Amino acid sequence: MTTSREFGIRLCHGVTCASGRYALSVATTSVGHWIAPTSALIGQGLGESVGLITDGRFSGGTWGMVVGHVAPEAYVGGTIALVHEGDSITVDAHRRLIQLNVDDGELERRRARWKAPAPRYTRGLLAKYMKLVSTASLGAITDGG
């Protein structure tokens, strides 16, 4: 992978779902917003039929079925890194459930083949940040505490 973000279309429990990954604190220092992809979906009239799942974050302008801050992030091998085109994902807000509907054996094979992307920065302050920062689910802090 040569970019810090990846975007694709998936099936989310009967609804078409776009997923984005490699976008949160550990992968990039910008903790990028996903307002552009959600705006594109709404602009195409797909807001009622397409959802977005990402390890990135959303601003207050986001609208529709969106799931952000998925952790652990793809950059550290979280399950979102193992999603393949055509996979089914169940999102149940009432049960607080996000589930990749792939059997355990296949997930193990995918995890064994998965390779972490090359760091975007290898020297300087940004490289140091990437080495020290925690997952956003733990506050994206750099003090290890």
Active-site positions? 59
DSSP character for 33?
B
Q: Could you give the residue ranges of the DSSP H alpha helices within 1-145? A: 35-43, 104-113, 124-132
Is 18 within 8 Å of 50 (Cβ atoms)?
Answer: yes
Whether the bond into 72 is cis, omega within 30 of 0: yes
Query: Is 28 in a helix, a strand, or coil?
Result: coil
